[in-house]
Amino acid sequence: MQIITSAENLKNFVALAREKKSTIAFVPTMGALHDGHMSLVDIARDQADVVVVSIFVNPLQFGANEDFDKYPRTLQSDAELLAARDVDVLFAPSVEDVYPNGQQVLEHAGAVGETFEGASRPGHFDGMLTVVARLFDVVKPDFAVFGAKDAQQLFLIKQMVASERTTNPQRWHALQIIEGVTVREPDGLARSSRNRYLSDEEHRAALTLSAAMRAAATTTGNASVRIQAAAQLLAAEPQVRLDYVALVDSSSFEAVDDSFSGQALLLIAAKVGNTRLIDNLSITI
């Protein structure tokens, strides 16, 4: 596995791969890798000749009171995990290399980016889309793999790529976005780099999130009834401070009303101790 820290060097690697007619799959991450990330790497390995994984903690997607400085940075152990998965390139750039012209927000998430996670973390999705677009321009992948756990992020990335195809069809003309299923710990907690912040007691409390999703899925009734079932379970756990629980149409990411029937996506965000967790589940109403 090559470790490349310069965007220019990565572009040179990609150019050589293209000369050999190799296809490229890309997995962007912020590091602190776990089994969820590895599942995305495995999908990438199955899809393409060459796999590129990036590790970059993006300052543009962290708010003033968020955990950018303490976000776990474990590059050496991450590199060992990726090498064992036959990754071809680990791209680990500096902030200056990703943003050579300064940290400017160049992509905007629009109305959907101001709801749910966007309402709780203003500017987060603009920063996320900006770095993803920059990485796509450097790597020029045929496939990019993202986890389903970050459902709103995935929706907005797909929306950005579709919009760019309309306005600038040559930019990412070959790119396919692939969704990887949420990987869970044996007790049901969704894998997350932030899980390492949880104490044993907080980890136990965090299981309420998956229990609440199951309650919403198995309750009979309309959207409001199902949301209430989830919210009641979350409210009963004193260590869980609910941010939101909602049901959305996955095709538009708009909240569904009580007349809705069919497949909807249940979203949950909550703080357990000082750790903010998100999760989601597709349910049938």
Active site amino acids: 37
Does residue 28 sit in helix, strand or coil? strand
Q: Using CA atoms, how far apart are residues 191 and 48, in angstroms rounded to an integer?
A: 25
- 8 A C-beta contact, residue 36 and residue 78: no
- Which helix (DSSP H) or strand (DSSP E) does residue 89 occupy? strand 89-91
- Supply the DSSP string of 237-275, one letter for each residue: -TTEEEEEEEEEETTTTEEP-TT--SEEEEEEEEEETTE
Does residue 190 sit in helix, strand or coil? strand
CA angle 239, 212, 285 (to 5 degrees): 155
Tell me which long-range contacts 98-105 makes (C-beta under 8 A, separation of at least 24): 98/7, 98/56, 98/58, 98/131, 98/134, 98/135, 99/60, 99/134, 100/7, 103/59, 103/60, 104/130, 105/60, 105/130
- Which helix (DSSP H) or strand (DSSP E) does residue 25 occupy? strand 24-29
